[in-house]
Amino acid sequence: MNYLNLFFVFFRIGAFTFGGGYAMLPLIEREIVFVYQWLTQEEFIDIFAISQMSPGPIAINAATFVGYRFSGILGALFATFGVVLPSFFLVTNLAKVIQRNKNSLYLKGIFAGIRPAVIGLISAACLSMFRISVVDYKGVIIAILIFSIFVRTKIHPIILILSSGLLGIVIYL
């Protein structure tokens, strides 16, 4: 894998995904697992989990981890810059246009159409990760339990992740 290939794969991911890191997950998975086969689905889930636990946006963390895994520090830099540059250009060049036209019916229509698509992409990523991560009834119990606790109590996700790890040790060992 060369650095430019890494850069352009993540540049394309950054350029054609709206809605943030979670909405990028299906495209990241498609490119690095299915198209280029740089990772298995299990490795992708592991990188996603690490990206979740690390500070910063998930897409940037995932790009950094994938780049580093295959090409060291330079690979991490190329992948990270690739995923960040489209948003940087978009924000710096379109922010004024969007601000000036914020009352435009066309612009409102565009964003009204993008929002449900983002929810669909996030839902697809969740379903894909669920199928790979929850392989038995014990995993289903952990997933339902953590989801229920989070929705009802708003406990910080880090505490839930650490608790899940401890619960996994108890249940699976």
For the segment 67-103, what is each residue's pLDDT rounded down to a tens digit? 998 889 999 999 999 999 988 888 888 888 888 888 9
Same domain? For 82 and 146 the reply is no
Burial of 133: CB neighbours in 10 Å, binned 0-12, 13-18, 19+: middle
**Position with higher pLDDT, 125 vs 139:** 139
The pTM assigned to this predicted structure is 0.64
Token look-up 């298995």 returns 40
Query: Do 31 and 66 lie in a common domain?
Result: yes
Q: What is the mean pLDDT of residues 117-136?
A: 83
CA dist 76 and 44 (Å) reads: 16
pLDDT at position 1, please? 61
Q: Residues 128, 159: one domain?
A: no
Alpha-carbon distance of 29 to 43, in angstroms, equals 10
Neighbour count for residue 44 (Cβ, 10 Å): 22
Same domain, 146 and 117: no
- Quick one: 155 and 101 in the same domain? no
Question: Domain check: are 51 and 100 in the same one?
Answer: yes
Q: How far apart are CA 48 and CA 66, in angstroms?
A: 10
Residue 92, domain extent: 3-133
State the average pLDDT over residues 36-52.
84
For residues 7 and 72, state if they share a domain: yes
pLDDT at 20 over 90: no
Do 148 and 90 lie in one domain? The reply is no
Asked whether residue 54 carries a pLDDT value surpassing 80, the answer given is no
The DSSP call for residue 20 is S
